Structure 1
Amino acid sequence: MNIATNTTFINFPFQLSPLASRACHQRATLSLSFPPLPLSKPAMSSAAPVTELSDESDFESLLSPDGHISICGFGSLLSERSARSTFPDLANFRTARLNRFRRVFAHVAPVFFERGIAKPETMEISSLSVEPCEGETLVVTVFEIRKSEIPDFIKREVEFRFLAVLPETLDGKAFDFPAVLCARYSDEEFFDNRCKGNKEIYFQQYGRWNIDKIWRDDVLPCRVYLRHCVLAAKNLGETAYNNFVDHTYLADRKTTIRDYLATTGSGIMEEQPPESLKHRYGG
């Protein structure tokens, strides 16, 4: 049985005010205060509880005795090089297993537009998120960052739902401490909770790229990003690679990445990123 997040889309686009129009040319600054959600909010039933993190103090409750917090990587953060480009001082980068989640290319990422690698004409504009799904298992990476890096992490992933999950080693031993996972959110929740119902804040981040929905079921993977993720998984070994191509889905939640690369997406793995992005998106 699949247990997916209920998604309700709000009607976009909005009419831009003069303030919002000016804001479209600036980098977004979203509110980091979260709605007052209860700390123990199960996302699904399982032996390992899943908790939604509602504010920075909830993140701090996951700190280890030495003041670090664990992060789960499932897309670009499968690459240690990518992870270190964001968190230069990360520690203990390793692979792990996460049960009852699947990867889905259903998240529109503004950064692909900023870097010139989105293809809106073919809807190849999506990044990865994860969502609960009974019967699925993911090979992920886990690493630690310092307490002082938590605010920047929240800003970087502000459109996601933050969950505390308990990964396992590849041989099935539960971790000692939970890790933070960036899971699928919804447009309605993002607008109401992260944007505080403010249309101008939404347009600071998305409006300048004509993005009227963040979480969609009619998009395809950004080609450069997909290639990067596949290479990153391959660099982790055969188990991680096979898990990625067989347990990562297009937005239809039927087509695996293995099938996609063998059909409609054939040729993606032979394409090279723009010269300026070869290091960042090199696997």
Structure 2
Amino acid sequence: MIVLSVSVSLSLTSLPFSYALSPTTCKPRASPPRSTVSLISSRRRQDRRRSIEAVSRDIHGSDLLELEDESDFEKLLSSDNRISIAGFGSLLSERSARSTFPDLENFRIAKLQGFRRVFAHSAPIFFELGIANPETKEISSLSVEPCEGESLVVTVFEIKSSEIPAFIQRELEFRFLAVVPETMEGKPYTNSAVLCGRYSDEEFFQIRCKGNKEIYFQHYGRFNIEKIWRDDILPCRLYLRHCVLAAKNLGDEAYNNFLDHTFLGDRKTTIREYLSSTGSGIMEEEPPEALKSRYGG
């Protein structure tokens, strides 16, 4: 968790929360209660889980385990003290992945069963870089969520255990899941990988921000974002272009999978459909010079 010292006064009196995670056309897999380890007391954890029970039951599949703190991540370490990361958006690009994890190893493509990609996440980084467009609602980055029958082509690579704390802080608004990718031939990996899944506004505020509006302000409020997880926003144009190009660079299977298994927030419109209609022209737009390396595919 983070501790921030700020002197900013918030005008937010309440934060709207979203509980709708999956449409009726895509049923999350049923799940028994999961077993996790946390540094917080069992009583506090039980109270917290009761308050988010409705959210959690829709997000966890029977083979999913949420990583709640650094000690959970450490359980996934390999014998050489590294942990696997699954990339589904910008991390489909090895260049992007190496800009964040310079010492990553074994970058490769894989399959992940039972998930879909959705543009339903307000991303503050796009506001910081000046590439978000609030007027058109083109402010979204990607997350993934369980969806029975779906299959994603992702990337997998290993990072050092020393990079785990920075990874957690950088992806703080996501739910960290331990998943088991497969080779492109369908053989399950020996080691689990960390996947950044859809979280919820309530959990982010109560758990990651500790119910503190000043902490929330530092992450989102200063960009006038009062709701993170939304179904009515559209992809940030440069980010979408970057992800499509990154997938294309991985080969036809990854490219077509991205176009046909990535959805807008309505969970109906695929990116292939979006780029041929409302989003036409996005792939012809060049990033600003300063961002060409970061968002060049």
Band of TM-score, shorter chain: 0.7 to 0.9
Counterpart residue number, 2:166: 152
Unaligned runs of 5+ in 2: 1-5, 11-37, 47-56
Counterpart residue number, 1:221: 235
Counterpart residue number, 2:118: 104
Task: Supply the distance in 1 between the matched residues of 2:90 and 2:191 (Cα, whole angstroms).
Answer: 23
Task: Supply the distance in 2 between the matched residues of 1:110 and 1:226 (Cα, whole angstroms).
Answer: 15
Other structure's SS at 2:150 match: strand
Task: Supply the distance in 1 between the matched residues of 2:294 and 2:203 (Cα, whole angstroms).
Answer: 31
Letter matched to residue 203 of structure 2: E
Superposition TM-score, scaled by structure 1 size: 0.86
Residue number among 175, 184, 196 corresponding to 2:189 in the alignment: 175
Task: Supply the distance in 2 between the matched residues of 1:65 and 1:167 (Cα, whole angstroms).
Answer: 19
Counterpart residue number, 1:68: 82
Q: Is the 8 A contact 1:106 1:216 kept in 2?
A: yes
1:67-115 Cα deviation digits (max 9, x unpaired): 0000000000000000000000000000000000000000000000000
Counterpart residue number, 2:293: 279
Identity %: 74
Residue number among 263, 273, 276 corresponding to 1:262 in the alignment: 276
Task: Supply the distance in 1 between the matched residues of 2:118 and 2:166 (Cα, whole angstroms).
Answer: 24
Are 2:107 and 1:93 aligned?
yes
Please report how far the alpha carbon of residue 35 of structure 1 lies from its aligned counterpart in structure 2 after TM superposition.
5.8
Counterpart residue number, 1:141: 155
Please report how far the alpha carbon of residue 34 of structure 1 lies from its aligned counterpart in structure 2 after TM superposition.
7.3
Task: Supply the distance in 2 between the matched residues of 1:232 and 1:146 (Cα, whole angstroms).
Answer: 24
Residues 245 and 227 of structure 1: CA distance in aligned 2, closer, same or farther (over 3 Å): same
Are 2:34 and 1:20 aligned?
no
Counterpart residue number, 1:130: 144
Other structure's SS at 1:94 match: strand
Task: Supply the distance in 1 between the matched residues of 2:69 and 2:40 (Cα, whole angstroms).
Answer: 8
Superposition TM-score, scaled by structure 2 size: 0.82
1:160-206 Cα deviation digits (max 9, x unpaired): 00000000001000001000000000000000000000011000111
Counterpart residue number, 1:6: none
Residue number among 220, 244, 251 corresponding to 1:206 in the alignment: 220
Other structure's SS at 1:177 match: coil
After the TM superposition, which parts of structure 1 deviate over 6 Å for at least 4 consecutive aligned residues?
Answer: none
Letter matched to residue 101 of structure 1: F
1:35-58 Cα deviation digits (max 9, x unpaired): 6669xx99113xxx2110111010
Task: Supply the distance in 2 between the matched residues of 1:20 and 1:136 (Cα, whole angstroms).
Answer: 44
CA RMSD of aligned residues (A): 1.7
Other structure's SS at 1:97 match: strand
Residue number among 194, 204, 208 corresponding to 1:194 in the alignment: 208
Counterpart residue number, 1:51: 65
Letter matched to residue 144 of structure 2: V
Q: Is the 8 A contact 1:44 1:132 kept in 2?
A: yes
Q: Is the 8 A contact 1:93 1:143 kept in 2?
A: yes
- Total equivalences in the alignment: 251
Residues 266 and 34 of structure 1: CA distance in aligned 2, closer, same or farther (over 3 Å): farther
Task: Supply the distance in 1 between the matched residues of 2:138 and 2:224 (Cα, whole angstroms).
Answer: 14
Letter matched to residue 269 of structure 2: T
Letter matched to residue 19 of structure 1: S
Letter matched to residue 116 of structure 2: R
Please report how far the alpha carbon of residue 20 of structure 1 lies from its aligned counterpart in structure 2 after TM superposition.
2.5
Task: Supply the distance in 1 between the matched residues of 2:126 and 2:219 (Cα, whole angstroms).
Answer: 12
Letter matched to residue 8 of structure 2: A
Unaligned runs of 5+ in 1: 1-17, 23-32
Please report how far the alpha carbon of residue 207 of structure 1 lies from its aligned counterpart in structure 2 after TM superposition.
1.1
Letter matched to residue 189 of structure 2: F
